[in-house]
Chain A
Amino acid sequence: GAVVSQHPSRVICKSGTSVKIECRSLDFQATTMFWYRQFPKQSLMLMATSNEGSKATYEQGVEKDKFLINHASLTLSTLTVTSAHPEDSSFYICSAIKVGSNQPQHFGDGTRLSIL
């Protein structure tokens, strides 16, 4: 159990394009989902915490108008990178926590975003 699906796995697009990434918990309901960014050979950097039905909480230095997060249901959160530029190229990973339990985060397989 505790499977998290992330889609798409790879995106290549032109500068100025907006890109949407989906994160789904397949076999459990998630109270909270997290969005991370990871640069090569570096650890995960938390971007924002997403709670179902409420606004996301962004970490310091993360532009909320640049990285739009929507958590419409207990199984789906989306991250939209708006007007993406080459410096937004990175590996974006989501994770989810099960409802009502003090459980660890389960991660999706990430989305590799390349902006040309």
Chain B
Amino acid sequence: QKEVEQDPGPLSVPEGAIVSLNCTYSNSAFQYFMWYRQYSRKGPELLMYTYSSGNKEDGRFTAQVDKSSKYISLFIRDSQPSDSATYLCAIGSGNTGKLIFGQGTTLQVKP
């Protein structure tokens, strides 16, 4: 079993839809949780990060963490064609700063 599981998709939605992206993880020691967006041929761009269970909102993006279920989600409201990218969850623990990445979910938002 991989430490972090993420459905690679691809996921295709119409413009304006609510998008739900999810990851599960196996190690309860993980302490911090991040979502990155990666456009083709670019480095990942940090979208959200959190250290606790619950919801964190930033504009159209909401990150949700459920430590009891070892499940994290990213919701995108009012999705736009410019949101089309690969979304990577990343999870870490300890003081090294090292992250374990999910496989990434490719999202396409159609106009």
Tell me the A residues contacting B by CB distance below 8 Å.
2, 4, 6, 31-32, 34, 41-44, 46, 49, 91, 93, 95, 97, 102, 104-110, 112
Our count of residue pairs bridging A and B at CB distance below 8 angstroms stands at 56
- Identify the closest chain A residue to B49 (Cβ): A104
Contact-residue size bin, chain B (C-beta under 8 Å from the other chain): 20 to 34
5 further A-B pairs in the complex, CB-CB below 8 A; given A41-B8, A104-B46: A42-B104, A46-B98, A91-B41, A95-B44, A110-B42
What residues of A have a CB within 8 angstroms of the CB of B45 in the complex? Answer: 107
Tell me the B residues contacting A by CB distance below 8 Å.
8, 32, 34, 36, 41-46, 49, 51, 88, 90, 96-99, 101-104, 106
8 pairs, CB–CB < 8 Å, chain A vs chain B: A6-B43, A31-B97, A41-B8, A43-B102, A43-B104, A44-B44, A107-B44, A110-B43
What residues of A have a CB within 8 angstroms of the CB of B99 in the complex? Answer: 46, 105
What residues of B have a CB within 8 angstroms of the CB of A31 in the complex? Answer: 97
- Identify the closest chain B residue to A36 (Cβ): B101
**Contact between B98 and A49 (Cβ–Cβ < 8 Å)?**
yes
Within the complex, which residue of A91, A97, A108, A110 is in contact with B97, where a contact is CB–CB below 8 Å? A97
A105 and B97 alpha carbons, distance in the complex (Å): 8
**Contact between A107 and B43 (Cβ–Cβ < 8 Å)?**
yes
On whether A93 and B32 interact (CB within 8 A), knowing A49-B96, A105-B97, the answer reads: no
What residues of B have a CB within 8 angstroms of the CB of A95 in the complex? Answer: 43-44
